Amino acid sequence: MINSLVFPRPSEAFKFASTRFDGSRKSKYSKPGMELTLTQPDDWHLHLRDDDLLQAVAPHSAKHFGRAIIMPNLKPPITTTAAAVAYRESILKALPADSNFTPLMTLYLTDTTSPNEIKLARRSGVVFAVKLYPAGATTNSQDGVTDLFGKCLPVLEEMVEENMPLLVHGEVTDPDVDVFDREKVFIDTVLQPLIQRLPRLKVVMEHITTMDAVRFVESGEEGFLAATVTPQHLILNRNALFQGGLQPHNYCLPVLKRETHRQAIVSAVTSGSKRFFLGTDSAPHEKQRKECSCGCAGIFNAPVAISLYAKVFEEAGALDKLEAFTSFNGPDFYGLPRNTSKIKLTKASWKVPDSLSFSFGNIIPMFAGETLEWQPCVGEKAEMLNEVQEVGANKG
């Protein structure tokens, strides 16, 4: 009988993960004190949860991002426009009083979603996409789709008419398919046929994890097929799940893959392609729900995401392409204006907290206890930067 579970400190795993770069590729931007000014980024894939967890984590995303596509996999899921509007109000109430953060809502696609609901969503002005969860694929996906073509085709056709994007968790749930192959099989059996049948449907393949997904996205028509990419899938490979012992805080879905897949994703993202954009998939769980005999999938990366993306682009020698990935490609795909505010990143060391404490318990952030090298400038300093740039623009 097992009386207790003992896990290595999260920082022990992240020490391994943080060495997964080619140190020989030095960046011309890597001088200490170097500053980068970026158009404020958006997060095109974010879990804010609800109730106490929402109150705890929403300020962390609002601190760095201007907007975010909000995932609808609550209990019960956000399946109607009315529910999305109500959830949006809860998010706004959870934000700091001085926050300008804008939640962009989504609907949770089910076997019974109606085409009329898509019309209502588009007319609401607050719903910007529909999320496809194959039933059983990830957290709170038990109400997801069981037969996309047999039960959802009228809804998908209405989405084409309304220019409403479909956001896809791209994994099959067949237990006979190896967990590391489920993304590729989904592409072959679901996404390829979907694109062929509805070529004008805008599709975002979310949190891609394989070179197969990279090739698929690059093969599609620009403006109709794109992908979001998380910091964990750019920095970690599947060894990070087991290095030094079982690492529950590195467990997410889709699960981390081989190093060759990570490298393919880094190459695609840092190439300057407009098809890839920032989506953190920040997915918080209370510590005890991660460190248990059946731990939840999800990595809480909101406090560190911008710093980690900068690290990836710096070590690829592509900091000049960072802003497009974080701030331009996403709104351009969705047909939304780019943000006008700015943030500043400074090459300065800062330590990630070991944990974040709240009334309901603790949340362990990604790279807990580790030192990162790019520090976002927020709050009063960022406001001063914006004011200076606005004065300069007015003079021009």
Catalytic residue chosen out of the listed positions 281, 285, 311, 347: 281
Catalytic residue chosen out of the listed positions 60, 63, 64, 131: 131
Query: If we measure between CA atoms, which residue out of 202, 381, 378 comes closest to residue 194?
Result: 202
Q: Which H helix or E strand runs over 120?
A: helix 115-124
DSSP states along 21-32: S-TT---TT-ST
Residue 218: CB atoms within 10 Å: 15
Confirm whether 169 is a catalytic residue.
yes
Confirm whether 287 is a catalytic residue.
no
Catalytic residue chosen out of the listed positions 60, 63, 64, 169: 169
Count Cβ atoms within 10 A of the Cβ of residue 164 and give its class: 0-12 exposed, 13-18 middle, 19 or more buried: buried
What is the biggest distance separating any 2 CA atoms in the chain, rounded to whole angstroms?
73
Catalytic residue chosen out of the listed positions 64, 184, 207, 342: 207
Confirm whether 233 is a catalytic residue.
no
Confirm whether 285 is a catalytic residue.
no
Count of CA atoms in the C-beta half-sphere (13 A) of 314? 21
Confirm whether 131 is a catalytic residue.
yes
Q: What are phi and psi of 386, to 5 degrees?
A: -60, -40
Confirm whether 64 is a catalytic residue.
no
Catalytic residue chosen out of the listed positions 42, 45, 60, 347: 45
Query: If we measure between CA atoms, which residue out of 45, 40, 56 comes closest to residue 103?
Result: 45
Q: Helix 115-124 vs helix 153-162: angle between axes, to the nearest 10 degrees? A: 30
Cα separation values, 383 from 66, 147, 194, 324, 343, Å:
13, 49, 45, 22, 9
Catalytic site residues? 45, 47, 131, 169, 207, 281
